[in-house]
Amino acid sequence: MTPRAILFDLDGTLVDSARSILAGLGRALESEGVSPAVPLSPGLIGPPLPRTLATLAGSSEPVLIERLAAAFRLHYDTTGYRETEVYAGVGDMLSSLARKGLALFIVTNKRIKPTRLIIDHLGWQAHFRGIHALDALEPPAADKTALVCEVLRRESLTSAHTWMVGDSAEDRQAAEGNGLKFLAATWGYGAAAADQQDLASRLATPLELLQRVSAYSAGRTP
């Protein structure tokens, strides 16, 4: 059906935060004298911060994880977020979708504070009708599937008219778990969300999303 709303993941879908996030993670480890248990690579980005830090530290000891998280937040929430890069074509895509009257939303594992800082820094406030993160709920959402479920309820969105765009397997699961049409942003951190057997779910560029929306609006299924 013709989409009336689109839910977007943030990191790896609309923006590339890899450089700034990895720099912050590295500083956090250094501050606690912890050697990374796995390489600092973009593949770490996506899960909630505590899970990422536990993977990097090779430990889930609560006190250590909280210290690492505090060190990361100090860097990222003051200057690090400003190094966020926008994928080519995303800005124009968002502007065009908003002009078409679609309701756009952010649904992210990223903490709500830096998410809002990034959206403000990029001047994207007017594009989105809602910005939602796991830690913005009380209690925090258990995972992205639960977050999307709550967003649909809070924003009075119907699954038949809502699409979701993301770059990870978790994004795909969150969409499918809530009955949404899912499209994989393969320009992001990888094609983890793209089903090899489902080429119709792949987006090669942001422009392709605009083309699909236009096709559905015209009554054509691309």
Domains and CATH numbers, the chain: 5-16+85-217 (3.40.50.1000), 18-82 (1.10.150)
Phi, psi of 11 (to 5 degrees): -65, 130
CA–CA distance from 44 to each of 1, 37, 117, 139, 179 (Å)?
35, 12, 21, 25, 27
Instruction: Report whether pLDDT(31) > 80.
Output: yes
The residue that leads in pLDDT, 191 or 74, is 74
* pTM of the model as a whole: 0.88
Q: Give catalytic residues, as residue numbers.
A: 9
Q: Are strands 162-166 and 181-185 parallel, antiparallel or unpaired?
A: parallel
Tokens in use for 33? 């004298």
**With bands split at pLDDT 50, 70 and 90, how would you rate the model's confidence at 1?**
confident
Q: Which range among 147-156, 166-175, 213-222 shows the weakest confidence by mean pLDDT?
A: 213-222
CA pair distance 95, 208, nearest whole angstrom = 14
Rounded to 10°, the helix 169-177/144-154 angle is 40
Report the chain's C-alpha Rg in angstroms: 17
* 112-131 per-position pLDDT tens digit: 999 999 999 999 999 999 99
The set of residues, in sequence order, having a beta carbon less than 8 Å from that of 37 and lying 6+ positions away, is 55, 56, 57, 58
* 37-63 per-position pLDDT tens digit: 999 998 888 788 999 999 999 999 999
**With bands split at pLDDT 50, 70 and 90, how would you rate the model's confidence at 209?**
very high
Single-letter amino acid code for the residue at 110: K
